[in-house]
């Protein structure tokens, strides 16, 4: 598995390097000051990242076009990375997160560069918008591709709205915010570029929908119970007051939640208090409930993939992604 995913990562990063070089010349010709936006987007995009979405896109593409190569989809893969940068830039600003991928988030980096706080935040929003514009340049002009990207973009924006409003239907929020542009959208994009039939598209969606929710549930578990050496963030979801699947499962248990209430949304909650809240999530069965739901979703995804009318190379690649996505450690 490492072979083909490494190939995708290297190919996409090479395309991004070339793209950023071209866009620097283009945007600074419009206004030299725009180099600040370009530099901020490039720094975030090229700093780490698993290139997960390109791998998902490529696997689905091979499910439809087994004889296809990475060159057939590398622009769309790079477009997904820029779309993600745009979403991360805005998400970090909305959440007040000053760190991303082991470095400063874009609004924090612009503040560090000497821009006044409000101006830096405003420039970060513009940087996100510019990254989105560039993603469309890479996605090209094919109408079916545009339709997939439009739907994916709409769903993730609505999902972010639901997240900000702390709706109780976390499953719906996950499906729209994370599942849409992490799995369902990239898979549909790869399939469409490969010339998928309606039957193949429906089968891919049946596989991607439960896998996308499982991916987010794993993220929730890592955000609270993960190894700090791998994630660097266990407990931060609690301190940030996020209404994760774990929190909702605890609230639905009917048990007293004094330890959880003491840290939820408390940014400076001490580690000991966070540890007590984590112990409570285990004690009331919230962790077990989320893990069981995750397992059920993976089962749904595997059944859907086994029944999908896709080529064997693509099925094998998609099957390899299941455990990698849902049982990852970071």
For the stretch 171-183, pLDDT in tens is: 788 788 878 888 9
Q: How many domains does the chain have?
A: 2
Asked whether the beta carbons of 290 and 245 are under 8 A apart, the reply is: yes
What 3-state DSSP class applies to 162?
Answer: helix
Q: What percent of the chain has pLDDT over 70?
A: 97
For the stretch 155-169, pLDDT in tens is: 999 998 988 887 878
Same domain for 183 and 116: yes
Q: What percent of the chain has pLDDT over 90?
A: 74
Q: Is the pLDDT of residue 235 over 80?
A: no
Work out the widest C-alpha separation in the chain, in whole angstroms: 62
Same domain for 81 and 215: no
Of all residues in the chain, what percent are helix, strand and coil, respectively (each to 5)? 80, 0, 20
Domain CATH code at residue 330:
1.10.600.10
Same domain for 124 and 134: yes
pLDDT at 230 (0 to 100): 52
Q: What range does the domain containing 145 cover? A: 1-196
**Cα–Cα dist 74/110, whole Å:** 30
Stretch among 100-114, 138-152, 232-246 having the lowest mean pLDDT: 232-246
Q: Is the pLDDT of residue 1 over 80?
A: no
Asked whether the beta carbons of 266 and 239 are under 8 A apart, the reply is: yes
In which element (H, E) is residue 163 found? helix 143-164
Q: Is the pLDDT of residue 93 over 90?
A: yes
Instruction: Find the mean pLDDT for residues 254-275.
Output: 92
> Where is the domain boundary, 137, 170, 196?
196
DSSP state of 256: -
């Amino acid at each position: 598995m490492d072979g083909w995913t490494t190939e995708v990562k290297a190919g996409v990063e090479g395309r991004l390097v070339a793209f950023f070089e071209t866009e620097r010349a283009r945007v600074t010709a419009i206004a030299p000051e725009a180099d600040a936006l370009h530099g901020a987007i490039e720094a975030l995009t090229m700093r780490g990242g698993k290139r997960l979405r390109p791998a998902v896109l490529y696997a689905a593409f091979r499910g439809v076009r087994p004889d296809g190569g990475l060159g057939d989809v590398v622009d769309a893969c790079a477009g997904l990375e820029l779309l993600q940068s745009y979403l991360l830039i805005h998400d970090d600003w909305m959440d007040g997160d000053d760190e991303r991928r082991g470095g400063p988030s874009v609004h924090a980096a612009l503040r560090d560069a000497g821009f006044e706080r409000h101006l830096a935040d405003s420039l970060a929003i513009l940087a996100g918008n510019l990254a989105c514009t560039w993603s469309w340049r890479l996605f090209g002009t094919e109408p079916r591709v545009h339709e997939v990207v439009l739907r994916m973009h709409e769903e993730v924006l609505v999902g972010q709205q639901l997240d900000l409003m702390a709706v109780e239907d976390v499953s719906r929020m996950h499906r729209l915010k994370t599942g849409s542009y992490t799995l369902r959208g990239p898979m549909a994009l790869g399939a469409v570029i490969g010339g998928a039939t309606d039957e193949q598209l429906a089968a891919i969606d049946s596989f991607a929908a439960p896998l996308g929710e499982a991916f987010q549930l794993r993220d929730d578990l890592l955000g609270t119970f993960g190894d700090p050496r791998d994630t660097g963030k266990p407990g931060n979801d609690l301190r940030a007051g996020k209404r994760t699947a774990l929190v909702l499962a605890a609230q639905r248990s009917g048990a007293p939640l004094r330890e959880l209430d003491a840290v939820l949304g408390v940014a400076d909650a001490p580690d000991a208090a966070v540890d007590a809240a984590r112990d409570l999530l285990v004690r009331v069965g919230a962790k077990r409930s989320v893990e069981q739901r995750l397992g059920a979703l993976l089962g749904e995804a595997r059944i859907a993939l086994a029944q999908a009318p896709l080529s064997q190379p693509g099925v094998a690649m998609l099957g390899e992604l299941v455990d990698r996505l849902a049982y990852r450690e970071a």
